[in-house]
Chains A and B, each alone.
Chain A
Amino acid sequence: MTQKLKDATIPTIPIGARIQRWIGRNLIRIYAIFAFTYLFIPVAYTFAFSFNDSGKSNLIWKGFTLGNWQNPCGAPEVCSALGNSIKIGFLATFFATILGTMIAFAIGRHKFRGRSTSNLLIFLPMATPEIVMGASLLSLFLVFKINPGFWPTVIAHIVFCISFVVVTVKARIASLDPRLEQAAMDLYANEFETFRRVTLPLVAPGIAGAALLAFSLSFDDFIITNFNSGTLTTFPKFIYVSAARGIPAQANVIGSAMFFLALTLVIVGQLVNRRKVR
């Protein structure tokens, strides 16, 4: 009885207004779905075609197979190219991270003549078009009678990675409260111990981030590598060359594997962080 009365007294909202309200509430979600679809279609495509029973050219879907995943080195040269890229990546990351971190500390923590100039110069390699840098590095190597190959490529990669390391680590140093180091000194830690026990652990996430960035930049680089590597084949070069005659499905396997590896690392990192906070 009372229920009926209530129903009668509450005015119903017209259907048009309801739809409008629903859209208003969910617009951001709809937009997000579109944006993510746009971003992930290429990844999904790469992943799907890693299962293609393609033979030579991986352009048309010819049937499902796990063969490519079981034998990722099946295509000629794909794994040696990958190996070269990983080797170059690790070496370039190692040196660029050490040098870049030291530069970041120098610029971020000390006052010296030419500090602001150094600060500016460090951005130059980031701003220089890669094609220009690749070509000039090559001519530089040739002037010094160094033939293009593995080590010139490593050196070239260190050059452009350093800038990114400096910028990343410097940001971390800038956010570090100087009072923490003063507190360490106040608690009987000398300069070295203060650095080892307080400064370094606190800057470490920045250094790790910088190293990951450096590795992915190096691993990914094609233009500068193409100028300076001579006959050496890296993974990006391999893809570029084979694009003309059809990229083998193994390249998709390796690409997808790297994507999922990176994704796993990010998720694990997030979980660890969340745990730490709790």
Chain B
Amino acid sequence: MVKASIEARGDLRLTRLTKTYGDFTAVDDLSLTIPKGSFFALLGPSGCGKTTTLRMIAGLEEPTAGSIHLGETDITTTKPYQRPINTVFQNYALFPHLTIFENIAFGLRRRGQKDVKEAVEKVLNLVELPHLAQRKPTQLSGGQQQRIALARAIVNRPALLLLDEPLGALDLKLRRQMQIELKWIQKEVGLTFVHVTHDQEEAMTMADTIAVMNEGQIEQMGSPADLYDNPETAYVANFLGQSNLIKGTISGNDGDSLIVDLYGQKISLPKNRSHAIDNSTYAGIRPEKFRISLLNTETRGNVLTGGHIEDVSYIGVSTQYQVEMPWGQELMVFEQNDDGVAPFNKGDAVNISWEPTFTFALRGDEDVTAGSQIEPEVLDEE
């Protein structure tokens, strides 16, 4: 069985995976299937259990309970070197005493593979650094080391490639570039990538499927668009971008829509976007979905009236407005500057409108601040 584990291929299946350290539960009864060939991201703040999950998949940490399957093979208790899984470590972990060539050849040589030279040269070409083969890791820049760490892992053609915050040490510009490159390389080599990150933008740019983790459990899983447009919890709504969450009561039905009463004003939203369990709810709308109009002008869709512009921030591509509503809540609105002027001024009395299909509804007993204070630097990258 041990011999067979290195040949295992197929979907990665985590079943009721749990890891505790004394009283602390890092990963809590986590079940998850990652399809073969996908680019999967585990997204969450530090301490949410995503890295522990990754280390258990790699075999560097032993699960307290649960099992890990690759295809039909149970790899839960096998050693890291018996798994067809390679990792790109957070700080790359290149061997400082070996040349770049020998770093990349390390895995191939351990498995006694032939044509090491050819394979290494091919992967060096893939990451566009063939001229660095004879250098030592310390002579390389951060971005180059990152690519070599990737090359060292993918040269082995693993069933699964794990990336632990692979771009965390790079500056913003390089990070953007590497995000695109990583995605391209994943398509090119067709391996399953499991990517761990706390950066929502990074996860959304690269992954086909994102699992948002919170306190050792998966909060919600889906495509980036699913998670963004139809979050099921306040945590997801706040952690991925920003949300306006308005307290309300579900007051009726209208075909496929629900009618929700928000402080006396009625709006509608699609039934399939409601995650409320009773009549009490929070209606959620992303700031860029709102449209502002002056009082007594024509509006379409859902409308909330009685707002006052409290603050205007012009930020180039868009203008951000803080609009104070009659019930005291400040809503955030992003308007594209496609007509070149900021048409509203501080103090203007306005209506806010949006398409009903852009609304989602959360449970009324949610903590509306969950997940919002975790990643303050996310905003300034928008």
Contacts and interface: CB of A to CB of B under 8 A. Distances in A.
Interface string A175-211: 0010110111111111001000110011000000000
Given A187-B152, A187-B156, A202 B96 contact: yes
B97 A188 contact: no
B110 A186 contact: no
Contacts of B80: 182, 185-186
Contacts of A179: 89-91, 93
B58 interface: yes
Nearest to B58: A186
Given A184-B95, A187-B86, A201-B97, 18 more contacts: A177-B91, A180-B95, A180-B96, A183-B89, A183-B94, A185-B60, A185-B79, A186-B58, A186-B59, A186-B60, A187-B106, A187-B107, A188-B6, A188-B107, A189-B110, A198-B95, A202-B97, A276-B136
B110 A182 contact: no
Interface in B118-143: 136, 138
B158 to A, nearest CB: 9
Contacts of A276: 136
Contacts of A183: 87, 89, 93-95
Contact of B79 (A190, A198, A202): A190
A184 B91 contact: no
Given A177-B93, A187-B110, A182 B60 contact: yes
Interface in A236-278: 276-277
A124 B82 CA distance: 43
Interface residues of B, number: 26
Contacts of B60: 182, 185-186
A188 B80 CA distance: 7
Contacts of A184: 95, 106
A109 to B, nearest CB: 16
Interface of B: 6, 58-60, 79-81, 85-87, 89-91, 93-97, 106-107, 110-111, 136, 138, 152, 156
A186 B86 contact: yes
- Range of interface residues on chain A? 10 to 19
Contacts of A187: 81, 86, 106-107, 110, 152, 156
A190 B81 contact: yes
Contacts of B89: 179, 182-183
Given A186-B81, A187-B152, A193 B110 contact: yes
A276 B97 CA distance: 10
A47 to B, nearest CB: 38
Given A193-B110, A276-B136, A186 B95 contact: no
B174 to A, nearest CB: 22
B148 to A, nearest CB: 12
23 contacts: A177-B91, A179-B89, A179-B91, A180-B93, A180-B95, A180-B96, A182-B80, A183-B89, A183-B94, A183-B95, A184-B95, A185-B60, A187-B86, A187-B106, A187-B156, A188-B6, A188-B107, A188-B110, A188-B111, A188-B156, A190-B79, A202-B97, A277-B138
A175 to B, nearest CB: 11
Contacts of B95: 180, 183-184, 198, 202
B6, B79, B110, B136 — most chain A CB neighbours (10 Å): B110
Contacts of A190: 79, 81
A184 B106 CA distance: 8
Contacts of A177: 91, 93
Interface of A: 177, 179-180, 182-190, 193, 197-198, 201-202, 276-277
A275 to B, nearest CB: 11
Contacts of A202: 95-97
A180 to B, nearest CB: 5
A109 B136 CA distance: 27
Contacts of B90: 179
User: Which 7 pairs from chain A and chain B are nearest by CB?
Assistant: A187-B107, A188-B110, A183-B93, A185-B80, A179-B93, A188-B81, A201-B97
A229 B367 CA distance: 80
Nearest to A193: B110
A110 B110 CA distance: 26
A30 to B, nearest CB: 37
A182, A201, A277 — most chain B CB neighbours (10 Å): A182
B106 A189 contact: yes
A211 B174 CA distance: 45
Nearest to B84: A188
Contacts of B79: 185, 190
A202 B93 CA distance: 13
A180 B89 CA distance: 9
A188 B107 CA distance: 6
A188 B91 CA distance: 19
A24 B63 CA distance: 64
Contacts of A197: 106
B29 to A, nearest CB: 26
A190 B89 CA distance: 18
A194 to B, nearest CB: 8
A186 B106 CA distance: 10
A187, A193, A202, A277 — most chain B CB neighbours (10 Å): A187
A273 to B, nearest CB: 12
A181 to B, nearest CB: 9
Contacts of B91: 177, 179
Nearest to A181: B93
A64 B152 CA distance: 64
B93 A189 contact: no
Contacts of B86: 186-187
A198 B6 CA distance: 22
A201 B94 CA distance: 14
